[in-house]
Amino acid sequence: MIRLVILVALTSVARAHPAPMTEVTITRGTPTILAMRLPASELAHVNVTTSDQVAAYLPRHITSNWELALGPVRSIVVDGHPYWETTVTVTGDGALVLYDDAITHEVRNHYIVMHDGSETRVLQYPQRLLIGSPRPLRRTWVRYAAVALGVLGVLWLWKRRH
Amino acid sequence: MLRSLLFLGVIGCSERAEPVVPAAPLACSDAGGHSDVASVVAAAVAFRSTLTDEQRAKLDLPFTREVATMWSNLPVGLVPRRGVRLGDLDGAQTKRARALIAAATSSCGRKLVNELRLADDLIAPLDRDPQMHMDWGAGNYFIAFLGAPSASAPWELQFGGHHISLNLTFNGHLPSATPMFFGAEPVKFTTPDGKAHAPMQRQSMAMGALANALAVHPDAHLSGTFTDVVKGVVIIREEGKPPSGGYDTGYPFAWDTTDRGMLVGKLAPDEQKLVREAIESYASLPGDALSYPLIATYEMALGETYVGVAGGNDLAKSGMYVRIDGPRIWMEFIVQDGVAFPDIPHYHALWRDKLADYGGELK
């Protein structure tokens, strides 16, 4: 009977295996918005376990030369795992530099998965630069135009020689 | 049968892991394979010849970065694998598959593969989370050839499933047995035939002994907390989509140059011996044609190699972490929270080579 109880207890608590990651989605604009989702289990490593503590803790670990305003912090569950979710509004002028090490400064294998438009990047300690200055003007049509001009130039040279 | 297996497993693994006992690691016997190109190619060709066309289509993959980095330590139910599934093979095919693994690994490596598959069979009945199927089980391990097995051209033998990923590259720029991941849950267990198993005993004892020795050296203490290996697989989560990835998409890594721990050269000779034993416990898993040059390379660079520890030195306590970090070598060992048995920690280990991962063939 005791063995059966142990067995039932063991079979009921299998959990998701992969360690949860921090997810940051950046929406550029005026202002720029960061949607952040941080796994509660990993933040607990720095004794941050309530929404008030998260609200006090995050501004110390998300830094920028622009002004940051933290929105309300709420608790959610995704795939059975508890997370803290919030938004950060970023406003300012000039080049934007933005750092985040809310969990990675303590948990060395923790990843920040950052979505910035169609780009996805993964950051891990000691890397903490979410974004730097605004992207250089490298729009797709500019690249296509440059390639097209190059091809036309080669054709023109070839034609002149023949 | 199932119940008795489960009871034996629970009884076998409900004991806490033994405390750290510094001891010389067990030597691999000579009965294993040598990982030499000729015998591995012969075994690979023999295995392939037993397969159907449909199975060969799964087995034969291109040796590209995209395919090679698709290995994982996570359960197959969470992160699917490519290749031929061992559970789908008939008797003759299974025999050839075993011969291939035997040719590519030492006796220690072959024993590790076999015991990790037994462990997965043991925890398979616990795969009952309705929202997330792990698909544990000895059948859910896969063999793939990246590039055609050849005596001269680069190709890779990939073997993997939950808690093990072997990526052995032949004819590459450098001799290579990495990346190699192995983990064990439970860390020790007894099978219905009464045999006791401890798949990672040699590696855990060696790393535990090293952690024990490093405990008295403050310079060797790494800052921060570790909950898994650092240079492992990466899961991507995107808004509105299920989690994806779980593969080696972080490769090639930026290898940190700070917070590396303590130089091996500053350790006492008997402590340096523990470093060598820890290195050999990982690097002797492939056969000697691969392990000898790699061990020699790593040991020649011991003067520039760092060792670090975090989370104490108790092999029964989650968070215990040991790392060997040299000009090329990167070996990690961590005691993690349990998954199938949440109250009983389990082990993860990772061996990477900063130059020779994937034979140095992926740019």
What ipTM is given for this predicted complex? 0.84
Chain-chain contact of A18 with B246 (C-beta, under 8 angstroms): yes
- The DSSP symbol for B239 reads T
Q: Classify the C-alpha dihedral B14-B15-B19-B23 as positive or negative.
A: negative
Global pTM reads 0.86
pLDDT of A87-100, one tens digit each? 999 999 999 999 99
Give residue B354's domain range.
Answer: 2-360
pLDDT in tens, chain B (363 residues): 343 444 344 334 433 333 333 334 446 756 778 899 999 999 999 999 999 999 999 999 999 999 999 999 999 998 999 999 999 999 999 999 999 999 999 999 999 999 999 999 999 999 887 777 899 999 999 999 999 999 999 999 999 999 999 999 999 999 999 999 999 999 999 999 999 999 999 999 999 999 999 999 999 999 999 999 999 998 877 666 666 789 998 899 989 889 999 999 999 999 999 999 999 999 999 999 999 999 999 999 999 999 999 999 999 999 999 999 999 999 999 999 999 998 999 999 999 999 999 999 997
Rounded Cα–Cα distance for residues B133 and A14 (Å): 10
Strand segments (E) across B33-108:
60-61, 84-85
Rounded Cα–Cα distance for residues A89 and B8 (Å): 56
CB B303 within 8 A of CB B263: yes
Of A13, A35, A79, the CB nearest to B342: A13
Reported as a pLDDT band with limits 50, 70 and 90, residue A24 is very high
Number of domains observed in the structure of chain B:
1
Q: For chain B, give the longest Cα–Cα distance.
A: 59
Which chain B residues contact residue A21 at CB under 8 A?
235, 237
Rounded Cα–Cα distance for residues A77 and B208 (Å): 36
Interface check for A77 against chain B (CB to CB < 8 A): the answer is: no
Half-sphere exposure of B147 (CA within 13 A, CB side): 24
Looking at chain A, which residue has its C-alpha nearest residue B131? A79
Chain-chain contact of A120 with B238 (C-beta, under 8 angstroms): yes
Interface check for B256 against chain A (CB to CB < 8 A): the answer is: yes
Interface check for A129 against chain B (CB to CB < 8 A): the answer is: no
